[in-house]
Amino acid sequence: MFVSLAAEMKRRLLLVSNSTLHGSGYLDHCEQQIRDFFGAGVKRVLFVPYALHDRDAYTKTARDKFETLGYGVDSIHEASDPAEAVRNAQGIFIGGGNTFRLLKCLYDNEVVMEIRERVLKDGIPYMGSSAGTNVSTISINTTNDMPIVYPPSFAAIGLVPFNINPHYLDTDPNSTHMGETREQRIVQYLEEPDVPSVLALREGSMLLVEGKKATLLGTTKARLFTRGKPTVEYDTGSDLSFLLMDGR
pLDDT tens-place string over residues 81-126: 999 999 999 999 999 999 999 999 999 999 999 999 999 999 999 9
Output 14 or 175, whichever has higher pLDDT: 14
Order of strands across the sheet that contains 232-234: 163-165, 198-201, 222-225, 232-234
CA distance 11 to 9: 6
**In this structure, are residues 12 and 120 in contact, taking their beta carbons and an 8 Å threshold?**
no
State the pLDDT at residue 196.
87
pLDDT of 30-85, one tens digit each? 999 999 999 999 999 999 999 999 999 999 999 999 999 999 999 999 999 999 99
pLDDT of 131-154, one tens digit each? 999 999 999 999 999 999 999 999
Helices (H) and strands (E) in the chain, counts: 8, 11
pTM recorded for the entire structure: 0.94
Domain span including residue 159: 5-244
State the pLDDT at residue 3.
67
CB under 8 Å to 106, separation ≥6 — which residues?
Answer: 48, 50, 112, 115, 135, 157
Helix (H) or strand (E) holding 157: none
What's the DSSP call for residue 243?
Answer: G
pLDDT of 167-199, one tens digit each? 998 877 787 776 789 999 999 999 998 888 999
- Catalytic residue annotation: 130, 145, 167
**In this structure, are residues 77 and 50 in contact, taking their beta carbons and an 8 Å threshold?**
yes
List the CATH number of the domain containing 56: 3.40.50.880
Residue type, 67: E
State the pLDDT at residue 248.
37
State the pLDDT at residue 247.
47
State the pLDDT at residue 246.
66
Output 2 or 202, whichever has higher pLDDT: 202
Domain count along the chain? 1
83 φ/ψ angles, rounded to the nearest 5 degrees = -65, -40
6: confidence class by pLDDT, cuts 50, 70, 90? low
State the pLDDT at residue 229.
93
